Amino acid sequence: MKIYLLEDNIIQQQRLEGMIKEICAEESVLYQNLFATGRPRDLISSLQDATLHTLYFLDLEIHDEEQKGFEVAKEIRRSDAYGTIVFVTTHSELAMKTFEYHIGAVDFIDKGLEPKAFRKRVRDCLLLASERRETSIPLDMFRYHNGQSSFQIPFAELLYVKTTGIPHKLRLVSTTRIMEFYGDLKELEGIDDRLFRTHRGYIVNLEAIREIDRRNKVIQLHGGSSCLVSRRLIKGLLEAWERRRGDGDNLVR
């Protein structure tokens, strides 16, 4: 397990860092390293592929930006879908906003708690993250990295990627989230043979296809999503889908 701490008040940063180390020693919580910083950019740039479970303690207000922690958490989720995120803040009234940002934080710890209660909440989060460490992370990940975007999601969750109408800005739709990033559809085609260009504006995960409607040129995907297929590309799509799934499993009408 790796632990990241984002806190721009150096006194509070050192207090929480010391507390984390003490609790880990007391509870035999193993961690690979603890990275503490007051600069969001330093934290984001230090993130690596999430091959280990990671725990993040994030201050919500950084350098007088009241909700900066939410932005950092969203950036974390681009590259780490399974990390354990905890907010430590004086703005407990903003707890419900975690749902708006689709962050999936496990706790929202108020800095104003009395010391014993505060320490218990930190301890509970460390023990939870330690338990998650025993859960395997899917190795079959869709990873994308270029000069502007870097993220990964389980391939089984990926449905399709489409253009947005803004040059080089793409929208990825999965079973768990929708995200936008900068990239090129042509680059994505070559990442994995499960990705198929069905239209000038769409790339589809072949394993996510539930049904192909040849008459209306529409692909139905698992979870109720749909996307377009062009007349020119539908034959190749059918052949590629059959190779991956087998004739008997396909539904074409």
3-state secondary structure of 36: strand
- As a CATH number, domain 2-132 is 3.40.50.2300
Q: Looking at residue 137, what is its pLDDT?
A: 58
Residue 12 CA to residue 19 CA, distance in Å, equals 10
Poorest-pLDDT segment among 22-26, 131-135, 248-252: 248-252
Span 67-83, mean pLDDT? 83
Alpha-carbon distance of 98 to 164, in angstroms, equals: 26
Q: Tell me what the mean pLDDT of segment 221-228 comes to.
A: 89
Residue 62 or residue 125, greater confidence: 125
How sure is the predictor about 83, in pLDDT bands with cuts at 50, 70 and 90?
confident
Q: Residues of the chain with pLDDT > 90: what percent?
A: 47
Give me the mean pLDDT over the 197-203 stretch: 94
CB 251 within 8 A of CB 209: no
Average pLDDT, the chain: 85
d(CA 35, CA 42): 10
Mean pLDDT of the 125-147 span: 78
Look at residue 99 and tell me whether its pLDDT is greater than 70.
no
DSSP calls for 189-216: HTT-TTEEEEETTEEEEGGGEEEEETTT
| Predicted local confidence at residue 6, as pLDDT | 95
Select the more confidently predicted residue: 35 or 74.
35
Asked if CATH classification 2.40.50.1020 holds for the domain at 141-249, the reply, yes or no, is: yes
Which pLDDT band holds residue 36 (cuts at 50, 70, 90)? very high
Residues 6+ apart with CB under 8 A from 229: 198, 199, 202, 204, 212, 217, 218, 219, 237
Q: Which residue has the tokens 């430590």?
A: 88
Q: What is the pLDDT of residue 247?
A: 46
Predicted local distance difference test score (pLDDT) of residue 245: 72
Pairing verdict, β 54-59 and 84-89: parallel
- Asked whether 102 and 85 are in contact (CB, 8 A), the reply is no
Helical pair 115-132 and 10-27, crossing angle rounded to 10 deg: 60
* Domain regions of the chain by residue span: 2-132, 141-249
